[in-house]
Structure 1
Amino acid sequence: MEDPKKFLFVLSAAGAAGFVSIIFVLRWVLHFKEGLAWDGGLAEFNWHPVLTVTGFIFLQGIAIIVYRLPWTWQCSKLMMKFIHAGLNLAAFIFAAIAIVAAFDFHNAAKIPNMYSLHSWLGLTVVILYGLQLVLGIGMYLIPITPVSWRRAFMPIHVYSGLLLFGSVIAVALMGITEKLIFGLSNPKYKDSPPEAIFVNVLGVLLVLFGALILWIATRTSWKRPSEQTLHTLHSNGESEANTKVGPALSELADGTDTESGGDVRRRNNKSDNQAD
């Protein structure tokens, strides 16, 4: 990995922003609102922002960068696929429960459902996220899926994942702003009461978390090496002839057309490791 110290700094900053965001949303509903419950009232609605931030944003962000954590590179690619899918599945479950909480509250309070732009985009993102999850599992966790399909779908899978992550944060910002406008009456949102300032800071933290996650996910120098490269490095690290194979490894890393490098590339073309 290039610039490991920089990677750790950005990763730590992202983790801190995400963790503090969770603390802020919990503080918001427990201190400024009615707390948490499942009774059809405002306390049930409060699960909506809590589950959205903790699950649909934080867990999804971790799922996006889990491949790039160097201490996971010793795990097999198949294991990492299961971890990636599991985190995304958990995020989807959190999002689904968050939607149920919002609909239950609206129905109990006789408030119309699906009237705001926040609700339109929010439900659309959840549906597309579920579709992304199903297609991802079908493409990369079912052994019979052709390798050519996996390669062709990978750019779409990566792009749509990043797009949905950014969209979730945008929809969340719309939602908390909408909640402040409708929920604050004396003083009003425009008068900048403590709750408004507190929740505005929460929005800034969510944007910061999203920006850092996207930065990590788009740096090619921080990408997980292919399985063949990891196996080669591991084997050579345990070998007594490290000094003899060092130049060959350098040539592989530089992409030169050595005989061993060509063999590695040909083997990689028979799998989807390089695409992932």
Structure 2
Amino acid sequence: MEDFRRFAVALSAAAFFGVASIVFVGVWVSHYREGVAWDGGPGEFNWHPVLVVSGFIFLQGLAIVVYRIPWTWRFNKLTMKFVHAGLHLLAFIFAVIAMAAVFDFHNAAGIPNMYSLHSWLGLVALTLFCLQLVLGVGIYLIPVTPAFWRAAFMPLHVYSGLLLFGSVIAVALMGITEKLIFGLGNPKYKDSPPEATFVNVLGVLLVVFGALIVWIATRPAWKRPSDQVQHTLHTEGGGVEESKVGPVLSELSDGADAEPWGDVRRRSGKLDDQDN
């Protein structure tokens, strides 16, 4: 990998801010709010921010960059596709439970559902995330999917994933601000009580975590090489300079997603014959 030290710093920073966000939301609901429960009261509502931050944001961010972690490159691409899909599925389950907690709390307290912009965009994000998950599994994990479908859908899949990730963070920021405005009475949110400052810091942590994940996911030099290239470098002793290999790995990685392994091998064999 090119610039491995920078990658390690970026990944470590993302992990730090992600875990810090989970810690902050846990402290928020336990210290400033009524903790968590599943009884229709405020404690049940508190599951919503906890599950959104820990699952819908943190796990989704991890799923986005899991391909780029060099320690996972020892596993073949298909295995990592299942890991990628599994993390997204777990994030979706967390988000569904978080949504159920809000509806159950609102119904028990007689509060109307789906009246705020936060709720509208949250439901849209969850629906589109489900669609992204279904299409991703159907196109990239089902062997009968035509290769040209995978190639054509890949740019949209990547763009949609990053767009949804950023949207979820934006909706979460709207939600925690809305909670502070409605939940703080005396002193009010505008008076900057300790809880308001604490939760504002949580929002900053989420933004920084999201920015780092997007940065890691969009750096071409940090792409996972194709399984074919990894095998070649391993058997040949990795005698190619990293600065020359990086762009080739990036191109072949895209190709590995776009065509079956058998076609890659046949095409590679033909190229090898021509080179010889």
Q: Same fold (TM over 0.5)?
A: yes
Residue 94 and residue 265 in structure 1: after superposition, are their counterparts in 2 closer, same or farther (change >3 A)? closer
Runs of 4+ in 1 over 3 A off after TM superposition: 246-255, 263-270
Q: Within 5 A, what are the aligned runs for 1:1-276?
A: 1-237=1-237, 246=239, 270-271=259-260
**What amino acid does structure 2 have at the position aligned with 1:13?**
A
Residues 22/110 of structure 1: CA separation in 2 closer, same or farther (3 Å cut): same
How far off is 1:236 after superposition?
1.3
3-state SS of paired residue (1:51) = helix
User: For residues 267 and 53 of structure 1, what CA distance do their matches in structure 2 show?
Assistant: 33
Q: TM-score, normalised by structure 2?
A: 0.89
Alpha-carbon deviation of 1:132?
A: 0.3
Give, in whole Å, the separation in 1 of the partners of 2:118 and 2:224: 36
Asked whether the 8 Å contact 1:228–1:264 carries over to 2, the reply is no
TM-aligned CA deviation for residue 228 of structure 1 = 1.2
Please say if residues 63 and 84 of structure 1, whose CA atoms lie closer than 8 Å, have aligned partners that are also in contact.
yes
TM-score when normalising by structure 1? 0.89
Structure 1 residue identity aligned to 2:195? E
Deviations 1:28-67 (A, max 9, x none): 0000000000000100000000000000000000000000
Report deviation, 1:234. 1.2
Alpha-carbon RMSD across the aligned residues, in angstroms, is 2.4
> Aligned partners of 1:167 and 1:205: how far apart in 2?
16
Letter in 2 for 1:34: E
Q: Is the contact made by 2:2 and 2:243 (CA closer than 8 Å) also made in structure 1?
A: no
> What percent identity do the matched residue pairs reach?
68
After superposition, the Cα gap between the structure-2 partners of 1:185 and 1:65, relative to the gap in structure 1 and judged at 3 Å, is same
Q: What are the ranges of 5 or more consecutive residues in structure 2 without an aligned counterpart?
A: 265-276
* CA positional deviation for 1:270: 3.9
Question: How many matched pairs?
Answer: 260
SS at match of 1:36: coil
